[in-house]
Amino acid sequence: MRTGERIAELRKARELSQTQLAKLVGLSQATIGKLESGISSGSSHLHKIARALGTTGEYLTGETDDPDAGALPAISPQALADQLDLVEVQEIDLRFGLGATELEVPVTKQVRHFSRDWLRHYTSANPEDVYFAQGSGDSMMPTILDSDLLLIDTSQKNMTMSDKIWAVAYAGSGMIKRLRATPEGVKILSDNQAIPPEMAYDGELHILGRLVGIVRKM
């Protein structure tokens, strides 16, 4: 197995992207990519790459087949997150049956790591108050597509402006909808014009947070 294949194998085992590994060792993602693909056969930074992957330069170059021989411990996930200034963001599970008077944010076991600086482009809220959800269904098309990743700021729960998009609990289920305050109640709007609006009255609608960002695959 050549050097690049060993780097790629260990990187994937550590659940690191090429970009994350590159940041850890002070290289560009392109340099890591060239090493892994075999375009570049060596690097003066192999010892740093080996340290980040919890192995030795001798293993990466093929001088030994034991990745653990003489190796220092790999960087822990928490240390990696601290180095890259990443924060954990939990997933809101909109499939939960919702509707309790005092509603806690329902979450899954799914956690993603986001750059703190990147999150600040969407909200100034504490990262602990930011959650993500998966777009599901077509009720908010074309604004939100079925596979979109949605960022929700749960520190925002007051409708200071109408027609913003919110994560809400209504009629025992969770949903992402546009809300409009009216004298009679709150109008629940879908961006898909084929779906008629609904009206929520006192105590029927619970706001989980405001949608502050949409991340879409191209």
Query: Average pLDDT per run of 10 along the chain, which is 218 residues long?
Result: 89 87 86 87 78 86 75 62 78 58 64 87 92 86 89 91 89 87 93 93 89 88
- Cα–Cα distance for residue pair 134/150, rounded to 1 Å: 6
Mean pLDDT of the chain: 83
In the chain, where does DSSP find H-type helix? 3-13, 18-25, 29-37, 46-53, 57-61, 77-84, 116-120
Residue 167: how many CB atoms within 10 A of its CB?
A: 24
* pLDDT for the residue numbered 104: 62
In DSSP terms, 131 is beta-bridged to 90, 152
Structure token digits, residue 188: 């629940």
142-191: pLDDT as tens digits: 999 888 899 999 999 998 888 999 998 888 778 899 999 999 999 999 99
- Cα–Cα distance for residue pair 76/21, rounded to 1 Å: 13
The residues, any chain, with a CB within 8 Å of residue 67's CB and separated by 6 or more, are 6, 10, 54, 55, 56, 59
- Cα–Cα distance for residue pair 189/176, rounded to 1 Å: 10
Task: Give all domains of the chain, ordered by start, each with its CATH number.
Answer: 3-82 (1.10.260.40), 85-215 (2.10.109.10)
- Cα–Cα distance for residue pair 169/10, rounded to 1 Å: 43
Instruction: Return left, alpha or beta for 186; rule: phi > 0 is left, psi -120 to 50 is alpha, else beta.
Output: beta
103-114: pLDDT as tens digits: 467 677 788 888
* pLDDT for the residue numbered 185: 93
- Cα–Cα distance for residue pair 80/103, rounded to 1 Å: 34
* pLDDT for the residue numbered 200: 94
Question: In this structure, are residues 132 and 89 in contact, taking their beta carbons and an 8 Å threshold?
Answer: yes
**Verdict on whether the full-model pTM lies above 0.85:** no
Residue 169: Cβ-neighbour burial (10 angstroms; 0-12, 13-18, 19+): buried
